[in-house]
A and B are shown apart, each in its own frame.
Chain A
Amino acid sequence: METTTAEFEPKIIAFLCNWCTYAGADLAGTSRLKYPANIRAIRLTCTGRIEPMFLLKAFQEGADAVLVSGCHPGDCHYTSGNYHARRRWTVFRKLLEFSGIDPRRVLFSWVSAAEGRKWSELVAEITAQVRALGPFTSFERIVKA
């Protein structure tokens, strides 16, 4: 295991809201803040649009972790999308944990359009964390079966 984790490069699929975190990631870019290339962002209108099934599909396609990120409470471009999302995740992540998906592979954050730095630091942090966890082989087993 150690040997594999050593050179193991995790794949992290991120679902970002267009208005805050995607813009925040843009800002990280315009500010030339460096972070690991393991993250792959999918742009959506709002965290309120992000369905639990997206996360499952991400794991199906071999994600070692998923990240959902959007506007801070109160800042939702659509006023309340992130509040509804927050409830959805509160339950769903617990359900995933209960049905055997390590919560450290199911990540959530609020990153505003102004938090380019937070974004780059976040990505660096979770990439390290997931690298330490190693590849999500147990789920791969289910997918392949």
Chain B
Amino acid sequence: MATGYFPGCSLEGTAAEFDMSIRCLAQALDLELREIDDWNCCGASAAHQTNHLLGLALPARTIALAAAQGLEEIFAPCAACSNRLIAAQAEWLGDAGVRAEVERAIDMALPAAPVPVRNCIDFLLPHIEKIKTAVTRPLAGKKVACYYGCLLVRPPKVLAFDDPENPTSMETVAAATGAEPVAWGFRTECCGAAFAMSSTASVERLCERILVNAKAEGAHMVIVACPLCHANLDMRQPKGMALPVLYLTQLVGLAVGVAPKALGLKKHITPVAAAIA
């Protein structure tokens, strides 16, 4: 069962540590990941708003490549990427016309059967037992606030991943590390994502609400599975607040004994060291 790895642009830039943590976690749990050869941008946020066909064609090409390279599923860690891949695929699966148009656009044949696309949580879930056994540094006593944001669970009808209002999958994975997920209210609230540049103020307001509530519920750190969420929450912490924000893969990485450096924990703006000590 070969899994195609689709890092996407974020993981080569702002979210490099996400990529690092994934690669060494995969090694630790010995999960085979084959990076899709010649993958391209998923077109998140920009493309599908400017040109619909483009918004379909970009994911299409990557998926077609994966299929052509004999990959049975795609692991797209970036929530925006997985979201786009799934959404786009859903469109041509339901409509032969669209499929034809897209195939013309990319000048490649799309796989007849849907190629399963997994987000970060979805990718780890099946290996939960493996993780439990691999845990060498149980994170007992660490209270974590699992944060989903919007892209992982919405639109529910298309993604069909977990409960959009009250998801629990990330908690399940986090709990496997021995950490203790807290019940809090902002797990699926928007972090401002795409407005990071255009409307910093509102992003700050949104992030504040999220972080404040997480802290209020006693969380020692916030766990995310999306580069955009991470960037926003890690970067835009309100005055006097220093609540570390970790990628789920980093959390698991720690538990299974990967060195913090290897997980890129040093790259974060909000220092992590204290929280994980």
A touches B (Cβ under 8 A) = no
B residues with a Cβ closer than 8 A to A are none
A residues with a Cβ closer than 8 A to B are none
